Amino acid sequence: MKHNKIIRNQPVLKDVFKDDFYIGVALNVNQIYDKEPNAIALVQRHFNSIVPENILKWEEVHPEPNKYNFDPVDRFVAFGEKHKMHIIGHTLVWFHQTPDWVFQDESGKPLDREALLKRMQEHIYTVMGRYKGRIHGWDVVNEAIADDGGFRKCKWLDIIGEDYVVKAYEYARAADPGAQLYYNEYDFEKQAKCEGVIRLIRDLQSKGVRIDGVGIQGHWFLDYPRIEEIETYILALSKLGVKLMVTELDVGVLPFYPVDSKAVALSSFDPETQKKYNPYTDGLPDSVQKDLAKRYAELFSLFHKHRDKFSRITFWAVHDGQSWRSYLPISGRTDYPMLFDRHCKPKPAFEAVIKIAQGEESLINSIDN
Ligand code: G3I
């Protein structure tokens, strides 16, 4: 009851931004199975869009050739419909979290182009088809462009060729003509990569492929990328004539460590290095809470300034305890990237975002250290 009393008095994120953009959040499997009532209470109060963090990725929803795992997705979609939310599907074609069998025949030999296209089509038709008219928008292809602006090297590219992206959107359009189709990416501050995404989208558009939006993931840090850099690529991407969305927002407060496909255990480092990469084991100092509040205020001030370009701002976790930032790229860390803490209580960053929505831009400079 105590928690619900606190939550009842909180200003409501989706309401303060109701004239600007959807406020979304990623749900993990425990929340989808209602094992985190406090987190779900926050989701119902503050968010009007939801996306599954993992359960709609190929390895989770289609783990074996003739096996689909739809129960968690059915629950996820039913939750979204019950609360009249804008429901997002993430993600159909990605180089990561896709089982090896997808690219092989029964004897383990690589498939040829036609066979892999057929498998991609069957996956998209089956998964999108099941939720036709119910999942409103899809991250059809995720992270297909490399830092140099070319296509990311992956099995989809090796076997099918560069048109695997076009094919994915054609299959998605056929599977659910009413769904919005997005392209989702990260690290747009790498100019060559941003230009590569722009080339890709323009190429898709020139081929008559429907793209309704580009997702900027938004896995950022307290001081990287700079607001000016983000604004530069918001302006560049908006020239594509599609909606923009921040699809996976979180602000890590821990030191950067290069992301690799496999997590590195914190315990594998010497004690001094562990302290360096995981400095806040006893809670987040007030000074860093204020830095986080200031950073979120600056980010939402930017989103609000360009609200005509954005359809959605989605957080990639409900609370700090859920965030991937504590277990990737280094497992065993304690990060604090969200607006709500590990007890689902609002942090100073929550108040700062609310104040930005209420027009108190001056707040940004008043957040002293
Ligand atoms: O489900 C298994 C569980 O059975 C097992 O016991 C456990 C320990 O091995 O692993 C669980 O799977 C984990 C999965 O999350 C579900 O929790 C995987 O190991 C772990 O790698 C996976 O991490 C996800 C990551 O994508 C995979 O790359 C994160 O939760 C998820 O937040 C993250 O999200 C991605 C977006 O989809 C795309 N953009 C980047 C973003 C961050 O990497």
> What does the pLDDT average to over 268-279?
97
CB of 331 within 6 A of ligand 1: the answer is no
The dihedral through the CA atoms of 51, 132, 210, 147 has a sign that is positive
CB of 217 within 6 A of ligand 1: the answer is yes
Active site residue 143: yes
What is the predicted pLDDT for the residue at 360? 76
What is the predicted pLDDT for the residue at 10? 87
What is the predicted pLDDT for the residue at 363? 67
pLDDT band (50, 70, 90) for residue 368: low
Pocket test for ligand 1, best of 28, 32, 152, 324 (most atoms within 8 A of CB): 324
pLDDT band (50, 70, 90) for residue 151: very high
Catalytic residue selected from 36, 170, 185, 248 = 248
CB of 96 within 6 A of ligand 1: the answer is yes
Question: What domains appear along the chain, each with residue ranges and CATH number?
Answer: 2-257+310-318 (3.20.20.80)
pLDDT in tens, 236-260: 999 999 999 999 999 999 999 987 7
pLDDT band (50, 70, 90) for residue 6: low
Average pLDDT of every residue of the chain: 96
Which residue's CA is the closest to the ligand 1 atom numbered 35?
53
> What does the pLDDT average to over 17-40?
98
CB of 30 within 6 A of ligand 1: the answer is no
Catalytic residue selected from 143, 170, 185, 351 = 143
- Which numbered atom of ligand 1 lies nearest the CA of 94? 38
What is the predicted pLDDT for the residue at 314? 99
What distance in angstroms lies between residue 326's CA and the mean position of ligand 1's atoms?
11
CB of 328 within 6 A of ligand 1: the answer is yes
pLDDT in tens, 182-226: 999 999 999 999 999 999 999 999 999 999 999 999 999 999 999
